[in-house]
Structure 1
Amino acid sequence: MTARDRVRSHVGGPLRPHELAHAAVIGGLSAVIVIIAVVIPFAKSLGVLGIVLPGLLAYRFRLRAVVTATVAGGVITFLITGLGGLFAILNCASVGGLAGFVKRNGRGTVTLLVLSLFLGVINASFWVGVFAVSTQLRHLMFVVITATVDGIAAFLAWVHLPALGAALQRYLAEGLHNWPLLLFGYLVLGSAIACFVAWSVLSRLLERLRDIVPPVYDLDAADFSGFGASERAPIAPVPVRLDKVRFRYPGAARDALGEVSLDVRAGEHVAITGANGSGKTTLMRVLVGREPTSGSVDRPGAVGLGQMGGTAIVLQHAKSQVLGTRVIDDVVWGLPPGTDVDVCGLLREVGLEGFAEQETGSLSGGELQRLALAAALARDPALLIADEVTAMVDEPGRETLLRVLSGLTERHRAALVHITHDDDAAASADRTINLSASIDDPPEVDTVPTALPTSAFINCSDMPVLELVGVGHEYAGGTPWAKTVLRDINFVVEEGDAVLIHGANGSGKSTLAWIMAGLTIPTTGVCLIDDEPADEHVGAVALSFQAPRLQLMRNFVGLEVASAAGFSPDDDERVAAALESVGLRPAFADLRIDQLSGGQMRRVVLAGLLARAPRALILDEPLAGLDRNGQRALLQLLDRLRRQQGLTVVAVSHDSVGLEDICPRTLHLHNGVLQTASAARSGR
């Protein structure tokens, strides 16, 4: 159990938004499961899921969240299935909730047995009382049970076991004469068995969840959110002092953050730079409340993450922070009712004047990043942390963001910590701290030459691999929100070719990449792989997402590579060969995915994709989020794979620097239309 769980279990007050959201979802899911189990024959086994869901809720949140979910699910179920469904919901909530409560408090099976028997006694007493008062209901129950046993006896007689059937009928008759004792014992025993089933399933599920999602991102509630003891402390994240702070993730062989000592004062602009893997994002987590492995963090009050006057974060992937359907909704999302926010002024400050009523789904990457910044500023933070906010943005958007950040501490009372691997982006800071010097161990990636090779590219075979004919695409076609992103795209990618598709954020590059990979069917025209529709050969063309973490589905590197490549994870030789093909040592197979830097994650994705021997490889923003060394290493890797293995490469990017050196042909995409094409082919 995390510190957050322990703190929340002792906190009073009304349900908080996140608790209410979880209760609503669990209540709805429980209702659906119970309704299916009641209505559909032979679906009773789904009742196990109905028990586990309240158990998860009780393990994670306060009792009142379980009660809220039970009320919500009970009302829905009662309206559809009547009293039977309502009692089923109550039973699931009581049994699952008890198992989750015991597990959350760190108790064992003895406590579970005692409490389950107590719950069984209460439940049994209730039903014995009901049947004692309602003679008609009791008579109906007796008729149903007798009919069931008679049927079983008839079956036993048919299989030549009449004595067993007669004994069963005789014992039932005797039991019905003493029905209060029989029903009481049955319900008490059934309650204990159900609680232990819930305990067993919940234990296995939590173990699996801890394996899939290790507590890398857990923050101590007492530190950051004002809960528990810190609820009485003022929100005051700055000035903050880190003294000899180190951090190592659970199970890691070395520190993710080497020894760091720094001060961040109110109104100060501090830039944190360093290579990929130097611990920049880990330092951010420490600043927002994660307890370091060693060293100390001193601040005058609570971190107040996401709260007014506390700490706000703008992340590298803005889409993960945008929740509102309209721009104006997203700026004020999650703020306390009645909070006075100058939305128009904030949008004007970040360069989104006049965007208030626009749909967030229509914004480009740079616009989304600026919207996330406006939403963060709406909380009037004392500490604002910007984590690689320019990594996924084209040059105009990058300049706009840097211009806003450079004068932010003069316009607001916030201290600004700008985390970036780009030294130029840190130029406007009051001071810069480079974390690269704190890395204790050498990188575990094989070194590569510092200069790109000058040897000629391999010759293309003139055999078309990808052919796009009149391709166009429209999102939400036929609705008022229809948006055309591609128009009349025509080009051919030949075997062994290397093509760069260059364009600004919002020009349709990613949509085009998904069409070429067969993951999206174009609205008009056709995309062909070896003269057949691309959507009929998904996987023939590999696609590397611009955010590699979203593409990594397993918890360990070796398992991820084997799963993506389609061979057994026990085949150590093939896993090692796949890793070595992208410059990673075989020892990487035993590392957790969340221990990797951004550049290492991208290499792991490529290892799995290339091991399938695809007809072509499409890379969406391959250099985004990588430092200069990481970019150089990836470019050299792609160049080597193309020269030595004849790999067909299509790079999609808003930044042509570096990529144009390995891609002899460039296609320029502007507002969904190809404008120019440079047919210069070095060495051909």
Structure 2
Amino acid sequence: MTLTRHPSKTRRAGSLHPVELAQASVMAAMCAAIAIVAVVVPFAAGVSLLGNVPMGLLAYRFRFRVLVTATVAGATIAFLIAGMGGFMTVINCAYIGWLIGIIKRRGRGWPTVVVAGMAAGALFGAAVVLALMILVRLRNLIFESLTANVDGAAAVLARIPDWWWLPNMEQAAERLKSGFATALHYWPLLFGGFGVLSVTVVTLIGWWALSQVIKRLLVVPDLHKLDAAAEEGAVAPVPVRLTDVRFRYPKSDQDALGPVTMNIEPGEHVAITGPNGSGKTTLMLVLAGREPTAGTVERPGAAGLGKPGGTAVILQHPESQVLGTRVADDVVWGLPPGMTTDVDRLLSEVGLDGLAERDTGGLSGGELQRLAVAAALAREPSLLIADEVTSMVDQDGRDGLLSVLSGLTQHHRMALVHITHYNNEADSADRAINLTGGGGDSDNAEMVETTAPPAVTAAVKPSSGTPVLELIDVNHEYGSGTPWATTALRNINFAVHEGDGLLIHGLNGSGKSTLAWIMAGLTEPTSGRCLLDGKPASDQVGAVAISFQAARLQLMRSRVDLDVASAAGFSPRDRGRVIEALATVGLDASLATRRIDQLSGGQMRRVVLAGLLARSPRALILDEPLAGLDGASARGLLRLLEDLRRNAGLTVVVISHDFSGLEDLCPRTLRLQNGVIATAPTTAGGVS
């Protein structure tokens, strides 16, 4: 299969860029959902005011045609689901959103908003009056409906008893009816004035809401953003030489990287190693084209991020890079007009042969990463950067990815930079650069050692009493009752006692994360029971702490101390408790005031654990706790958890693809295979 990105379907002069199309799609769906709720749910019409915000953001940030595209898409969806009411709600939101977005973009204040709202309201009112002049029957129907409503309100007023602090309610009812009849006699003024008033008020509300959203977005720095900076000249990212390069993020008082002196030659496979916080991801940004704070970066041409023959980046979480709904579509997504790509050849090279027509939503983690590699290769890059791409993948997927990556420089004219913590991945490179040593070669002493999956073991003798966690005949199915129903877990039976340590492993898609959510009470099983201290876990949400795979998604505050205190439930002003919580997970007190987005992936994971452990949970579930941690950090974290399990009686359940050093923390091991416990160990007491 050879696909060509046709000029009429991709970026031309003035056509929508992939980023603009993605933004329009998301905002259109959001506005359509708001419009549908406002029309379908009783007494929820006021919700429609929120629809101005996504449309206003599009008008503020992008070109007018992006807003038009979102309006057409959102209005169509709303019309198909909620009829004409939903359609008109989206149109109104787009109109008001465009108005406030343009005013915001030009830096004007609320006086401009009032004037513009009144002018727009006058036009809207005039249009309504003109329509009612032409559509006489509709006008009479509206008049009769309004009159009936007013008469009903007057009847209610007339029935209110006369009290000394109230006027004569019958007279008030008559005045209401006569006043409305007079106003209706001058209906053009009534409807025109209502149009001016309503549009002005809605515009002011939308202006306030959009201002708050933009204000929040401005204080959330996207520090690790891959900037496709405007570059002149030919694209030629390698050879590249860094001389005394340093990088410091805005509002930071220390360098995140450097000084680094290194070079990358064409055809080289270079591994970048180093402990958490040493600047590996920051180095990736510099190699991809971001300007350093100090030092020099010499290239023969532009970095060309995302351009043919330039620099391509594969990230740790493949879900963030998959945009096409079909595998073949994702490979060619965003390619320039007329560029021809042999999709079948690329998919075969990365081990996805025959999957061109597969829905990307049905791919495993390892398959998604392979697809990201194929999409990167479609641009024929001269420099490919892989940033810890195997950390979230099971052992089979990891081996397959390593096999693909290690052969790229032999089959393509490119340099490969592989950022990794794993010893075997660094050993497969031509040379390794350890950032701890300031850019020199390293023996990778702090690398993570890869080991084979542990065998399923017999359980240790459980303590007497009720288990902390007990799963009895648990089954779970996603999309139950629909044609898309998928079984995730079947006949799960086991128990975890006080101070127990249990490792659960299995391939991607075997049901491990679903099981973790059920044990934490965040998901109720389709059938069976999950009990915490003999009671349903779903009734005790929070008693079992869970650390998710993607630590960043669990950090809800802007600063470390704020997040730890929020997760643990104490005041962030209690600096002593914050420092104690950080020390528990081996983090220095100086990190307390650090912004979350200035942390490395491993540091983020430790901050999450600090907040969870400070809550003194009944049990702790760790979903891939070692992902993104260097060897020393992983060993330190495991020692900490082992000490808490042995001496404090903490019950620990670990779900992991990394097994090195887990033997003492988790004496018991279960393996999931296609949603079933492959071999369930039993004990003398019958607890499995």
**Which of the five TM-score ranges fits, normalised by the shorter chain?**
0.7 to 0.9
Partner Cα separation in structure 2 for residue 535 and residue 83 of structure 1: 41
Map 1:173-572 to 2 at 5 A: 187-188=195-196, 190-211=198-219, 213-223=220-230, 235-242=235-242, 244-295=244-295, 297=297, 303-323=303-323, 327-328=327-328, 330-335=330-335, 340-353=340-353, 355-356=355-356, 363-422=363-422, 424-437=424-437, 461-463=463-465, 464-469=467-472, 490-505=493-508, 508-521=511-524, 526-569=529-572, 572=575
Partner Cα separation in structure 1 for residue 385 and residue 148 of structure 2: 70
Partner Cα separation in structure 2 for residue 217 and residue 577 of structure 1: 29
- Residue 93 of structure 2 is matched in structure 1 by 92
Partner Cα separation in structure 2 for residue 80 and residue 486 of structure 1: 34
Which residue of 617, 620, 630 maps to 1:617? 620
| CA deviation profile, 1:82-129 (whole Å, cap 9, x unmatched) | 777655544332222121122234343455455445534544554455
Partner Cα separation in structure 1 for residue 147 and residue 528 of structure 2: 68
- Residue 445 of structure 1 is matched in structure 2 by none
> Given residue 221 of structure 2, which amino acid in structure 1 is its aligned partner?
P
| CA deviation profile, 1:401-451 (whole Å, cap 9, x unmatched) | 333222312211232221123454233434433322459xxxxxxxxxxxx
> Given residue 594 of structure 2, which amino acid in structure 1 is its aligned partner?
L
- Residue 160 of structure 1 is matched in structure 2 by 167
1:193 deviates by 4.0
- Residue 50 of structure 1 is matched in structure 2 by 51
Paired residues of 2:564 and 2:611 also in contact (CA < 8 A): yes
Which residue of 602, 623, 637 maps to 1:599? 602
Give the 3 Å change call, closer, same or farther, for CA 199–243 of structure 1 in structure 2. Answer: farther
1:277 deviates by 0.8
Partner Cα separation in structure 2 for residue 467 and residue 619 of structure 1: 17
1:55 deviates by 0.8
Partner Cα separation in structure 1 for residue 363 and residue 55 of structure 2: 38
The worse-fitting range, judged by mean Cα deviation, of 131-140 and 17-26 is 131-140
- Residue 443 of structure 1 is matched in structure 2 by none
> Given residue 610 of structure 1, which amino acid in structure 2 is its aligned partner?
L
Paired residues of 2:513 and 2:623 also in contact (CA < 8 A): yes
- Residue 660 of structure 1 is matched in structure 2 by 663
Give the 3 Å change call, closer, same or farther, for CA 135–221 of structure 1 in structure 2. Answer: farther
1:665 deviates by 3.8
1:626 deviates by 0.7
SS at match of 1:662: coil
Partner Cα separation in structure 1 for residue 513 and residue 197 of structure 2: 58
| CA deviation profile, 1:262-304 (whole Å, cap 9, x unmatched) | 4444433333222111111122233334444445556566655
1:570 deviates by 5.1
Partner Cα separation in structure 1 for residue 471 and residue 196 of structure 2: 68
| CA deviation profile, 1:280-335 (whole Å, cap 9, x unmatched) | 11222333344444455565666554444443222222343345566555444555
Q: Which runs of 5+ in 2 are unaligned?
A: 1-11, 161-165, 440-459, 684-688
- Residue 447 of structure 1 is matched in structure 2 by none
- Residue 101 of structure 1 is matched in structure 2 by 102
Percent of residue pairs identical:
60
| CA deviation profile, 1:537-577 (whole Å, cap 9, x unmatched) | 44333222233223323333333333333445555554444
Paired residues of 1:469 and 1:490 also in contact (CA < 8 A): yes
Partner Cα separation in structure 1 for residue 516 and residue 496 of structure 2: 13
- Residue 446 of structure 2 is matched in structure 1 by none
Check if 1:65 corresponds to 2:70: no
SS at match of 2:65: helix
Paired residues of 1:218 and 1:290 also in contact (CA < 8 A): no
1:496 deviates by 1.6
Partner Cα separation in structure 1 for residue 624 and residue 468 of structure 2: 21
> Given residue 22 of structure 1, which amino acid in structure 2 is its aligned partner?
Q
> Given residue 207 of structure 1, which amino acid in structure 2 is its aligned partner?
K
Paired residues of 1:493 and 1:499 also in contact (CA < 8 A): yes
1:48 deviates by 1.5
Give the 3 Å change call, closer, same or farther, for CA 124–674 of structure 1 in structure 2. Answer: closer
Check if 1:644 corresponds to 2:647: yes
SS at match of 1:71: helix
- Residue 456 of structure 2 is matched in structure 1 by none
Partner Cα separation in structure 1 for residue 251 and residue 353 of structure 2: 47
Give the 3 Å change call, closer, same or farther, for CA 483–44 of structure 1 in structure 2. Answer: closer
Give the 3 Å change call, closer, same or farther, for CA 507–145 of structure 1 in structure 2. Answer: closer
Give the 3 Å change call, closer, same or farther, for CA 350–74 of structure 1 in structure 2. Answer: closer
TM-score by length of 2: 0.78
Paired residues of 1:462 and 1:495 also in contact (CA < 8 A): no
TM-score by length of 1: 0.79
Partner Cα separation in structure 2 for residue 140 and residue 478 of structure 1: 44
Paired residues of 1:666 and 1:678 also in contact (CA < 8 A): no
Give the 3 Å change call, closer, same or farther, for CA 132–295 of structure 1 in structure 2. Answer: farther
Paired residues in the alignment total 643
Partner Cα separation in structure 2 for residue 508 and residue 167 of structure 1: 69
| CA deviation profile, 1:385-414 (whole Å, cap 9, x unmatched) | 100122233444433333322231221123
| CA deviation profile, 1:171-218 (whole Å, cap 9, x unmatched) | 88887787767766664565444333221111112223344x433244
Partner Cα separation in structure 1 for residue 673 and residue 198 of structure 2: 67
Give the 3 Å change call, closer, same or farther, for CA 52–467 of structure 1 in structure 2. Answer: closer
CA RMSD after TM alignment: 4.2
Partner Cα separation in structure 1 for residue 140 and residue 412 of structure 2: 75
Partner Cα separation in structure 2 for residue 355 and residue 476 of structure 1: 24
Give the 3 Å change call, closer, same or farther, for CA 258–466 of structure 1 in structure 2. Answer: same
1:31 deviates by 4.2
Partner Cα separation in structure 1 for residue 463 and residue 85 of structure 2: 70
- Residue 451 of structure 1 is matched in structure 2 by none
Give the 3 Å change call, closer, same or farther, for CA 604–380 of structure 1 in structure 2. Answer: same
Partner Cα separation in structure 2 for residue 477 and residue 350 of structure 1: 34
> Given residue 641 of structure 1, which amino acid in structure 2 is its aligned partner?
L
SS at match of 2:469: strand
> Given residue 213 of structure 2, which amino acid in structure 1 is its aligned partner?
L
Paired residues of 1:667 and 1:678 also in contact (CA < 8 A): no
- Residue 453 of structure 1 is matched in structure 2 by none
Partner Cα separation in structure 2 for residue 303 and residue 505 of structure 1: 35
Q: Which runs of 5+ in 1 are unaligned?
A: 1-10, 224-229, 440-457, 680-684
SS at match of 2:663: helix
- Residue 450 of structure 1 is matched in structure 2 by none
SS at match of 1:605: helix
